[in-house]
Amino acid sequence: MEDLLILAIGAGAAAAFMAAALILFTLCPRRSQLQHSGTPETVLLFRNGEVVDFTQDAAVLFDRTVLTGMGWDEVRETLLPGFPDLPEELPDRPLHWRSPHVGNAELWADPAGSRLHLRLQCTPDGAATLFRARCQSDEYHRLSEMSRNAPDALWQTDDDGQLIWYNEAYEHLCASTGHEIDGTCPVDIELPSKRVERSTRISIKPEGQPQRWLEVVSRPVEHGWVHYATSIDSLVNAEMAQRNFVQTLTKTFAHLPIGLAVFDRDRQLVLFNPALVDLTHLPVDFLSAKPNLLSFFDHMRENRMMPEPKNYASWRDKLYDVVSAAREDRYCETWNLPSGLTYKITGRPHPDGAVAFLIEDISAEISLTRRFRSELELTQSVLDCFDDAVAVFSRLGVLTFSNAAYRAQWKCDPDSAFAEITIVDATKEWQQDCQPSPIWADLREFVLTLRDRQGWEAQLTRKSGEQLRCMVQPVAAGATLVRFTSLPVQAEETAQPDNRRKAVG
């Protein structure tokens, strides 16, 4: 009887142990039991929406050692690149997905009450593929870290414009412009119809911040487009400053009477002012079309606004020498046009290999100079007809004018002298050719004085015995006229020498 009681107790204990083991196996399966006996699988066990158990290789998939407590959002984010159709909520019914991007990759979701088995299966492609993937793992992590932490916004979209991937800078861009990451793109770009690279310059207005400028480069990839957004605020500000500066210069040049033509390093006309149109009579539409240097001068020649060269073909070849001279700031010519106008052409170098030509109408200046020169020649010819020797000294005591009688009487030629002849030099020559007289010091002082003066005269006797009357008279602009008159022979016989100064009128 006791034996039967012991046997029954043992059988009941064994049954209770087996029942407990079965419950534990059902509720808490070990990692070894999550392994599939056939194709290798990665398995995650969810309970109440959180990971409670996992196979050993799952740590490699999620790049972390502890997966316990992970939610569906974190798991979905890791699997989404391979399975873009994963739902946002934890599956509540059996589902099966095939990856459109990773060959032979499948995912199963098997819910059971508060539990969910998530199984990832990928048929091995061979040892070579596995070895290559292991070797590229470090490079993948390095490139992933670099792109995720890049200072410029990077993101990828599919062919329909749906967001696939983005980095942290893209998140900051969305946050600053008030856009949702999964919503509309904060950068409004239009993709080209052909799969070619395109660069787009856009502006955005972050909340509470000044306007920003971005240059977005969109490049086609295998599964859509990759976009790179680079900040170009400094470049845009520099271009705007340059544009404003050019506009200011243009307004200034518009009021200049001198024609301005600026050619860039490729010898294309890039800037001109209205005075150039008036002086050259070239059509505005022709100048606005940015002609090159040769076409510019060809049209000037056709309009007879430049002198006709003897050999125009060789002159065109010499234009390159003209440009070289202008770049060295040594080109300056005067053109006498058939119409009677006179133009002054000056070449000036500009930065970055550009060159500017200034065209100035100097007809009035040339006419005035010619008239003045004609009057001087007339005055010179009139005074050369006088028998009296005449010399004019400036207020600084420099000999500025003399007639033929003066040059003949004192044996000097001021025009051929190496240096300027002053009143000191002239009185020394006069003193050496005349007998002693006290007027030389007075004459020098009279020429160099700046106060009001009154003319005077004195009589001189040359060493040859010739009697001279020296008349000193103030003229305009503080100058002094000195005139030597030869006395008649009969006056020499009766008159007594008198070297004293005598006031004139």
Q: What is the CATH number of domain 136-231?
A: 3.30.450.20
Q: Using one digit for the tens of pLDDT, what is the confidence trace for 31-82?
A: 434 444 456 788 999 999 999 999 988 888 887 888 898 999 989 988 988 8
| pLDDT reported for residue 363 | 87
Fold designation for 22-127:
Beta-Lactamase (3.30.450)
| pLDDT reported for residue 489 | 61
| pLDDT reported for residue 497 | 53
User: Whole-number mean pLDDT of the chain?
Assistant: 81
Q: Provide CATH 3.30.450.20 ranges for the chain.
A: 136-231, 239-365, 386-503
In this structure, what token pair is assigned to residue 65? 């050692």
Least confident interval from 104-118, 406-420, 432-446, 455-469: 406-420
Residue 128 has pLDDT above 90, yes or no: no
CB atoms within 10 A of CB 152: 17
| pLDDT reported for residue 494 | 45
Give residues with Cβ within 8 angstroms of 373, minimum separation 6.
Answer: none
| pLDDT reported for residue 5 | 32
Q: Using one digit for the tens of pLDDT, what is the confidence trace for 219-239?
A: 998 878 999 999 898 999 998
Confidence of residue 493 (pLDDT cuts 50, 70, 90): very low
In this structure, what token pair is assigned to residue 236? 């845009």
Asked if CATH classification 3.40.50.300 holds for the domain at 386-503, the reply, yes or no, is no
For residue 279, give the nearest of 344, 367, 325 by alpha carbon. Answer: 344
Residue 276 has pLDDT above 60, yes or no: yes
Confidence of residue 429 (pLDDT cuts 50, 70, 90): very high
Q: What is the CATH number of domain 239-365?
A: 3.30.450.20
Confidence of residue 504 (pLDDT cuts 50, 70, 90): low
For residue 222, give the nearest of 199, 198, 195 by alpha carbon. Answer: 195
Question: What pairs with residue 465 in β-bridges?
Answer: none
0.75 exceeded by pTM: no
